[in-house]
Structure 1
Amino acid sequence: MKKIMIVFVSSWMLLACNSASNNNQDSVDSAQDVNDSTNVVSNNTSDFATEAASGGMMEVQLGQMAQQKAQSQRVKDFGAMMVKDHSQANDELKAIAARQNIALPDSMSDDKKKHIDDLSSKTGKDFDKAYMDMMVDDHKEDVDKFKDAAQNVTDTAIRSFAAKTVPVLQKHLDSAQAIHQNMQ
């Protein structure tokens, strides 16, 4: 009976996310709405998880773009690191969310898509500078959000994920700042 209930809840969450996204609602908002309606986890847990998933998807896509569009080899290498590390973190977050019955977005938020659209029109040195500017700003925010989640999120699995991810994000920030400074 427990398996049937989990399958039903999971199917309902997926259906709710898909129908909400068909109504032009941001996929992150849709996932948060599903989590709010099921009360499976606290709001601070589901909000962090959905935002982290969206941000992780953006980092992977931008990293792939950097590998193709960047002029500097350091920027290309940084992009490769983003794809590798954030793909791994995304997979880990998905596994935790599945175990905890937390709905995650199936695509990134509209504001993350805007970052991708903004960078997609740039090439060469313009792309390198804009990408590294964004990576410095984004990773400063990410380090703060993940540190906060590591201390304040109520779900222990998500809290542990955040704590484990902080050093990786700090390494990304340090690398982004070094590349950014070298470009000046």
Structure 2
Amino acid sequence: MKRIVFASCLALASYMMVSCNSGTTTENKDAVDSAKAVNKEQKPVDKSVSDFAVKATSGGIMEVELGKIAAQKAVNPRVKAFGQMMVDDHSKANDDLKSRAAMENITLPSNMSDDQQKMVDNVNKKTGKDFDKEYMDMMLNGHKDVLDMFQKASADLSDSTIKEFATNTIPAIQKHLDSARAITGKK
């Protein structure tokens, strides 16, 4: 169940996104819902485009936060290195998406969703090998779903600016998935 919930939330989010706002928002309890509401009202682009950008941003924010925790807390050096890779790669992708979304007048969340924050809090409670296992299982399952989400966006989105972001980000997502598979020994 945790695996399904995480995968869904990560897919709602995705790898690569933004930790800052790129438009006007009305900050609510949940920044993701707030961004979606602003985009629905302003209709900057096709709904599927803005929904993808919001999901990718929220996921990217979560990936950076989890990566920071893993880089400090993991006991396995490979897991620590993976966490740092998540921070570096997702911060870069977040910045790219933020600038592209601004060009399209898409409002992005400034924080991850409340559900994602709960998942971060739960994994952060783990220690030692239990933390490493939980974190890497989340990364493995989440990156599978995110890869599917980005491949679909790369094929289907109507906005060329955001579609290009999705296409350009796929190799990093694949690299993350391959790394997670190597570390966990799972497919």
TM-score (norm 2): 0.85
Question: Of 138, 143, 148, which residue of structure 1 is paired with 2:147?
Answer: 143
Residue 91 of structure 1 corresponds to 95
Residue 155 of structure 1 corresponds to 159
Structure 2 residue matching 1:17: 3-state secondary structure: coil
Structure with greater helix share of residues:
1
Give the number of aligned pairs: 164
> Which structure is larger by alpha-carbon Rg, 1 or 2?
1
**Bigger relative contact order, structure 1 or 2, given CA contacts below 8 A and separation 6+?**
2
Distance in 2 (CA, whole Å) between partners of 1:17 and 1:160 is: 28
Alignment of 1:22-101 (within 5 A): 24=29, 26-101=30-105
Q: Which amino acid aligns with 1:126?
A: D
CA-CA distance at 1:141 after TM superposition: 0.7
Residue 107 of structure 1 corresponds to 111
Give the ranges of 4+ consecutive aligned residues of structure 1 lying more than 6 Å apart after TM superposition. Answer: none
- Show structure 2 runs of 5+ residues with no match: 1-22
CA-CA distance at 1:152 after TM superposition: 0.9
- Show structure 1 runs of 5+ residues with no match: 1-12
Question: Of 26, 32, 50, which residue of structure 2 is paired with 1:17?
Answer: 26
1:125-181 Cα shifts (integer Å, max 9, x gaps): 000000000000110011000000001111100000000101110110010011011
CA-CA distance at 1:112 after TM superposition: 1.2
CA-CA distance at 1:17 after TM superposition: 2.4
Percent pairwise identity = 52
